[in-house]
């Protein structure tokens, strides 16, 4: 649920999975706990395509096709999670370490770790084009987010410091510091050099002696130190290293970096830092700027979707028949490779699916061909995290990136090669499309319930268990009871009223909607309805 919500908020599974990879690399989270978050990110990434499908609400049949094209991605990912997550959880409980994906990726990672680090992937052309426009509004400081996933360094008291560069502490007198200055300036005594750096003393006194506080220091881990350097260059330059102001006997940090006021830096720049580093919304603060930016983005998204739909219709409708015939003949596994390659180029499965959904809406690409291309996009989106992990070559980061890759590959192997398994997400998406065609509010409700409501409720139940096991059990039983009653009403109904699904959309309306869609698709292809039905059946049950 955390993975779903995080991905919905940032509208990018690449971003949320990169954060998870960074957390695992820095030992902030274990691999076994990160695997479910990765699964959730895969589910959450389909929200963008679902939003895009709402851009074709003006035409009932276009909305039916586009919403089905968007939800087939979501349903496919849900089915994959529904099989692999319980299996991963049960096996990990049995051995106390991890499930099948964990052990598979653990052994593969061991084989990979003998190599050298890689290089970062080329920048997405989509990002190159959009970044200058985005930066006008806001630019987020991702290093603050990364730093917040790491623990705050504890403040520690040094044993003693000198006047001039630091305020005196117990056990250290002005005479000691005077002697240290004399030794530093007149001899090469190592103790004196360690106790007080003449150069550092002169620089500090010339700038502002009162601003240098040696009352506490903090040991900063290498991973956190990387983010310290990039959060704010000006603030980081003002940090004083312990070795420049304190004797070696006054502090102990081992392999970590030691800074005077290192914990205060975390409070000021990380905990209370502004996540919006640039843009005219930076002055509004993180919360207000984020809300305003979200509203602006929704407005621009709506305008863009309308323009995209109109442009696609003008470009493709004249050649629609030829394009539809070509797409129906395209081999499914070639379509997977096409979706994979396109996603690697743009480095975003959301972009790939968002381009395909309007094409599905106007009937250029059939629903049955959207599925393999989105499956390929699922696999392609893992490449960014894979290459990022191989840059640092930290075992945990490499393992979780490989786990993301194999999660999508296993989902493809389970639900795509066998036609009967492939028909499950197609039938579900087709039914959701029918509901959307009759009730235009369905896509919006679908987004609120599936991507926000259910994950939010599940997280509340989890938090209830932390506060009180009894409260958590009660809430869980209530939710299960409500869900069971709803499912019974939906499938069976109460009394003579009949199943709830047919009360919401009667069988007659479903059949009428199916016939209208068949007629529209047949007209698009320039064939009779009988010929179209034969083509559709061959696409569903053949390997093409």
Section 408-429 average pLDDT: 90
- What CA–CA distances, in Å, run from 119 to 387, 390, 391, 396? 7, 8, 6, 18
Residue 388 has pLDDT above 80, yes or no: no
pLDDT confidence of residue 537: 65
Per-residue confidence band for 199, with pLDDT thresholds at 50, 70 and 90? low
pLDDT confidence of residue 318: 58
Position 143 in a domain = no
- Is 361 strand, coil or helix? helix
Residue 185 and residue 83 share a domain: no
Domain count, the chain: 2
Comparing 65 with 130, which gets the higher pLDDT?
65
pLDDT confidence of residue 312: 66
Percent of the chain clearing pLDDT 90 (strictly above): 20
Residue 83 has pLDDT above 80, yes or no: yes
Comparing 313 with 370, which gets the higher pLDDT?
370
Q: Between 31-44 and 395-415, two packed helices, what is the crossing angle to 10 degrees?
A: 50
The dihedral built from the CA positions of residue 349, 354, 355 and 361, taken in this order, carries a sign that is positive
Section 236-251 average pLDDT: 80
Q: Taking all residues of the chain, what is their mean pLDDT, rounded to a whole number?
A: 79
Position 504 in a domain = no
Give the lowest-confidence range in 34-43, 60-69, 77-86, 363-372.
363-372
Residue 63 and residue 182 share a domain: no
List beta partners, residue 260.
217, 240
- Per-residue pLDDT tens over the stretch 495-521: 777 788 888 888 888 888 888 888 887
Position 387 in a domain = yes
Position 532 in a domain = no
Q: Beta-carbon neighbour count of residue 506 at 10 Å?
A: 13
- Is 262 strand, coil or helix? helix
Residue 368 has pLDDT above 90, yes or no: no
pLDDT confidence of residue 9: 81
Residue 364 and residue 388 share a domain: yes
- Between CA 373 and CA 408 the distance in angstroms is 13
Position 31 in a domain = yes
- Per-residue pLDDT tens over the stretch 316-333: 555 555 655 566 677 888
DSSP letter assigned to residue 498: -
Section 419-443 average pLDDT: 90
Residue 248 and residue 177 share a domain: yes
- Between CA 329 and CA 61 the distance in angstroms is 23
SS (H, E, C) 242-255: HHHCCCHHHCCCCC
Position 393 in a domain = yes
pLDDT confidence of residue 19: 80
Residue 171 and residue 111 share a domain: no
- Is 141 strand, coil or helix? coil
- Per-residue pLDDT tens over the stretch 202-240: 554 444 344 456 778 899 988 888 889 888 888 888 888
Position 139 in a domain = no
Section 51-71 average pLDDT: 87
Boundary-marking domain end, from 449, 469, 491: 449
Which structural domain, as residue segments, surrounds residue 166? 148-273
Section 418-441 average pLDDT: 90
pLDDT confidence of residue 174: 40
pLDDT confidence of residue 188: 40
Residue 541 has pLDDT above 50, yes or no: no
Residue 194 has pLDDT above 70, yes or no: no
Comparing 336 with 249, which gets the higher pLDDT?
336
Comparing 472 with 179, which gets the higher pLDDT?
472
Residue 152 and residue 121 share a domain: no
Most confident of 167-171, 242-246, 444-448, 524-528: 444-448
pLDDT confidence of residue 191: 41
Residue 173 and residue 258 share a domain: yes
Boundary-marking domain end, from 245, 273, 301: 273
- Between CA 323 and CA 312 the distance in angstroms is 13
pLDDT confidence of residue 340: 87
Residue 253 has pLDDT above 80, yes or no: yes
pLDDT confidence of residue 72: 92
Chain centroid, CA 99 distance in Å: 22
pLDDT confidence of residue 543: 38
Boundary-marking domain end, from 449, 481, 512: 449
pLDDT confidence of residue 516: 87
Question: Do 357 and 53 contact (CB within 8 A), yes or no?
Answer: yes
Q: Cβ contacts of residue 360 below 8 Å, gap of 6+?
A: 65, 66, 68, 69, 366, 367, 370
Encoding tokens for residue 160?
Answer: 């003693």
pLDDT confidence of residue 407: 93
- Contacts within 8 Å (CB) and 24+ apart, 465-472: none
Closest CA to 7 of 458, 452, 453: 452
- Between CA 63 and CA 434 the distance in angstroms is 9
pLDDT confidence of residue 542: 41
Section 158-167 average pLDDT: 53
Closest CA to 2 of 458, 473, 502, 467: 458
Percent of the chain clearing pLDDT 70 (strictly above): 81
Q: Cβ contacts of residue 422 below 8 Å, gap of 6+?
A: 371, 415, 416, 540
Residue 319 and residue 255 share a domain: no
Residue 198 has pLDDT above 50, yes or no: no
Residue 180 and residue 268 share a domain: yes
pLDDT confidence of residue 301: 72
pLDDT confidence of residue 7: 87
Residue 302 and residue 322 share a domain: yes
pLDDT confidence of residue 408: 92
Position 341 in a domain = yes
- Per-residue pLDDT tens over the stretch 265-305: 999 888 888 888 788 888 887 788 888 887 887 788 777 76
SS (H, E, C) 395-457: HHHHHHHHHHHHHHHHHHHHHCCCHHHHHHHHHHHHHHHHHHHHCCCHHHHHHHHHHHHHHHH
Residue 295 and residue 264 share a domain: no
Residue 178 and residue 254 share a domain: yes
Residue 392 has pLDDT above 80, yes or no: no
- Between CA 345 and CA 390 the distance in angstroms is 18
């Amino acid at each position: 649920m955390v993975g779903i919500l995080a991905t919905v908020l940032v509208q990018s599974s690449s971003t949320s999975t990169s954060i998870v990879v960074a957390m695992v690399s820095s030992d902030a989270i274990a691999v076994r706990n990160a695997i479910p978050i990765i699964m959730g990110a895969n589910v959450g990434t389909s929200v963008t395509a679902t939003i895009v499908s709402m851009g074709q609400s003006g035409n009932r049949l276009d909305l039916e096709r586009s919403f089905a094209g968007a939800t087939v991605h979501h349903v496919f990912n849900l089915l994959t999670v529904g099989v692999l997550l319980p299996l991963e959880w049960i096996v990990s409980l049995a051995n106390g370490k991890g499930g099948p994906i964990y052990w598979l990726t653990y052994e593969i990672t061991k084989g990979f770790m003998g190599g050298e680090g890689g290089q970062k992937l080329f920048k997405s052309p989509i990002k190159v084009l959009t970044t200058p426009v985005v930066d006008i509004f806001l630019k987020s400081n991702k290093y603050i987010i990364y730093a917040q996933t790491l623990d705050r360094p504890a403040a520690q008291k040094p044993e003693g410091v000198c006047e001039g560069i630091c305020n005196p502490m117990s056990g250290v007198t002005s005479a000691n510091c005077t002697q240290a200055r004399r030794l530093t300036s007149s001899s090469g005594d190592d103790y004196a050099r360690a106790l007080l750096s003449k150069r550092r003393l002169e620089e500090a006194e010339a700038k502002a002696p009162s601003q240098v506080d040696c009352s506490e220091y903090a040991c900063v881990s290498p991973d956190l130190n990387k983010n310290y350097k990039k959060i704010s260059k000006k603030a980081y330059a003002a940090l004083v290293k312990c070795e420049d102001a304190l004797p070696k006997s006054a502090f102990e940090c081992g392999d970590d970096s030691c800074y005077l006021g290192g914990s205060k830096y975390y409070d000021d720049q990380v905990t209370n830092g502004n996540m919006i580093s640039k843009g005219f919304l930076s002055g509004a603060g993180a919360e207000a700027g984020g809300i305003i930016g979200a509203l602006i983005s929704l407005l621009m998204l709506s305008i863009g979707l309308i323009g995209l739909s109109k442009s696609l219709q003008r470009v493709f409708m004249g050649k629609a028949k030829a394009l539809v015939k070509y797409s129906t003949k395209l081999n499914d596994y070639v379509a997977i490779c096409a979706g994979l390659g396109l996603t690697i180029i743009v480095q975003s499965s959301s972009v790939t699916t968002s381009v395909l959904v309007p094409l599905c809406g106007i009937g250029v690409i059939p629903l049955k061909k959207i599925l393999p291309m989105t499956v390929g996009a699922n696999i392609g989106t893992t490449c960014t995290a894979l290459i990022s992990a191989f840059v640092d070559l930290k075992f945990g980061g490499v393992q979780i990136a490989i786990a993301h890759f194999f999660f999508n590959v296993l989902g493809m192997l389970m639900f795509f090669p066998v036609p009967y398994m492939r028909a499950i997400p197609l039938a579900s998406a087709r039914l959701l499309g029918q509901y959307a065609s009759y009730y235009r509010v369905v896509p919006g409700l679908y987004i609120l319930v599936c991507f926000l409501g259910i994950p939010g409720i599940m997280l509340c139940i989890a938090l209830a268990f932390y506060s009180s096991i009894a409260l958590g059990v009660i809430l869980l039983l209530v939710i299960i009871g409500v869900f069971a009653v709803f499912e019974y009403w939906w499938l069976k109904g109460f009394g003579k009223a009949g199943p709830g699904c047919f009360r919401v959309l009667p069988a007659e309306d479903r059949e009428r909607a199916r016939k209208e869609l068949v007629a529209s698709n047949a007209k698009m292809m320039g064939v009779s309805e009988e010929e179209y039905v034969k083509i559709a059946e061959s696409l569903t049950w053949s390997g093409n």
